[in-house]
Amino acid sequence: MKGVENFEFIPEEAARALEAIVGPDRITTDRAYCGADTGMGLSREIFGWGGISQDAACIVQPKTTQEVVGIVKVCNRYNVPYLPVVCRICAPTNPQLRKDIVIIDFVWMNKVEIDEKNMYAIVEPGVTLAQLQGEILDKDLYEYICGGGGYASVIADHVGYASGTGILNYRTDAWTTRRMSGVEWVSPEGELYRMGSLVEGDEHGYWHDGLGPSTIGLMKGNNGWGGGMGIVTRMVIKLYPFQPEKLVPEGIGCDSVVALPPRVRWYNITFQTEEALQKAMAEIHEAQICAAVNRVPVYWREIAKCRGDKDFRNQFWELWDKQTPETVAQTHILRVLIIGYTSLKHLECEERVLMDIVSENGGTPRKTRQGDEGTFFNPNTLDQWMTTGVFGLTTGSWESPRCIAEHDELFVDRLDKYEFKHEYLPQHREHPWHCSWALGRTRYTETHAWNDGPKIDPLDPKFDPGAGPRHLIAAFGKLGVDIIIGNGAQDLAGVFIRPIKLESPAYFDFTLWIDRFKKEFDPKGVSGPPFPYMMEAILAGLPPELQNEFKESAARAQAQPWKGNPEE
């Protein structure tokens, strides 16, 4: 094994059995290696330094599906929990609440096969979204990159519907689970299944589910399974036709952009009112034009201005300190991408339609730099938050256009109501970012309450290890419940109130299915514990008064009639 062997948290026999599968160079129980590998990113900030996250007991790095099967079977045999990880960014998939977890790290499993003609890719879990995009753009194909960043694993992103989204999904189906045509799945107990196109065994990904019932549905779950339902070791995903001209990167560091060819153009448009912007968005969707449609909040625009060698935080805050509720209320920005998929004339035609819509709604096209920093490779939301020096408490929703507009209004109301003043960025009641998917049939909104991260300081004598998570959960819980009560939108903050089990046909009935699947496939509960019960586990550690607050919120939410519009 690499480093200093340590069997304090894992039985030596189990570790030796794992070593026998992968060899001595791809396994470690060393405390430094495990400590450095654990709880990165958001999870480290929120849970790790909050005192909740534990270091892994062991890291094991398989190279093949057969090795993964072996590892999972060993873990079951010794009743040792395991957690599959790749990029370690996402908060729900990283922290460990137990000291005996084996991290299965897919760093060595990064093969990609592309079928240009039939427009699909077969990927292993170590392949990231940016890597896949790099492989396929030269073949005139493209995929989305999720907002969390091009560092994310393609497979991890596709098995979690709320994570697998990006603005390039505008013309495609944003439900990532629908875009996988086949999976090779190692069940929680170590059985190997092939589903969809891969069931045939002839290694092509064209047929999606093929004959028989759709088994890919097993991969679904609110926010994905977070490693709580075995491991997908290969996935077939659909790719989409792009235009043939090359995207050429240029520039250094914070000034790097992808220079856009003539057939790819961004348009920044300002409107005088939010209503006019929303109406223009709806008309763009009706006309079925454009490649991405975003409502851009003012703070995004200010972040984008931070460049050069002056420190970004002071640059941002100099700009943001000048904003007031009045200036924000007067700024309504729509950012639209058009791609001439078939020809330059295609782009020109859509541009004319767009300009008609803009003109009819009183909008003004602004000068727009024809380079792209993040859409095609590198959206990088986490870094964006940290540019401002804050942690982003993010929630969001994925609903009908009407629901999303109401959701945004409710959100800014609740930020005021709960007086998120001191440690939060003043938002001036600004509506958040939202974008359209499936040509506007659904919209996604992502709302941020930005708190001051440095207050979570473990060297501060007043530091309370549980304060960060409690704060987060309290904020999310309150907001999420209020929004559900307010308009029935399925808010992502729901993951924080999921423990209260809003069970009814109108609410999150899927929790029942998750329970049933989990019990059936993972009777020992060794696959990614505490997933899918992460929030229950955290909630159980909260003070009784906060637990009661959640229960009361649940009761209030459940007592409300369904506010959504099924006909939408």
Nearest approach, Cβ of 79 to other proteins (angstroms)?
A: 26
Q: Which is nearer to other proteins, 457 or 536 (CB)?
A: 457
Provide DSSP, 28-76: E--HHHHHHHSS-HHHIIIIITTT-----SEEE--SSHHHHHHHHHHHH
504 within 8 A of 558, measured Cβ to Cβ: yes
Nearest approach, Cβ of 217 to other proteins (angstroms)?
A: 30
Distance between CA atoms of residues 485 and 497, nearest Å? 13
Q: What is the 3-state secondary structure (H, E, C) of 431-446?
A: CCEEEEEHHHCEEEEE
Q: Which is nearer to other proteins, 37 or 274 (CB)?
A: 37
Nearest approach, Cβ of 12 to other proteins (angstroms)?
A: 19
Q: Which is nearer to other proteins, 176 or 378 (CB)?
A: 378
82 within 8 A of 189, measured Cβ to Cβ: no
Q: Which is nearer to other proteins, 170 or 376 (CB)?
A: 376
Nearest approach, Cβ of 279 to other proteins (angstroms)?
A: 34
Nearest approach, Cβ of 415 to other proteins (angstroms)?
A: 17
Output the CA torsion 304→308→314→316 (10° steps). -10
Nearest approach, Cβ of 266 to other proteins (angstroms)?
A: 15
Query: Angle of helix 274-287 relative to helix 344-360, nearest 10 degrees?
Result: 140
Q: Fill in the amino acid letter for 66.
A: Q
Q: Which is nearer to other proteins, 29 or 187 (CB)?
A: 29
Nearest approach, Cβ of 49 to other proteins (angstroms)?
A: 6
State the burial class of residue 2 (Cβ atoms within 10 Å of its Cβ: 0-12, 13-18, 19+).
middle
Q: Which is nearer to other proteins, 40 or 68 (CB)?
A: 40
State the burial class of residue 480 (Cβ atoms within 10 Å of its Cβ: 0-12, 13-18, 19+).
buried
Nearest approach, Cβ of 286 to other proteins (angstroms)?
A: 33
22 within 8 A of 103, measured Cβ to Cβ: no
Nearest approach, Cβ of 115 to other proteins (angstroms)?
A: 16
Distance between CA atoms of residues 180 and 194, nearest Å? 13
Q: Which is nearer to other proteins, 292 or 456 (CB)?
A: 456
Q: Which is nearer to other proteins, 78 or 108 (CB)?
A: 108
Q: Which is nearer to other proteins, 459 or 559 (CB)?
A: 459
Single out the residue of 390, 351, 393 nearest to residue 368, CA to CA: 351
SS3 state of residue 268: strand
The strand pairing partners of 76, in sequence order, are none
- In the chain, how long is the greatest CA-to-CA distance? 72
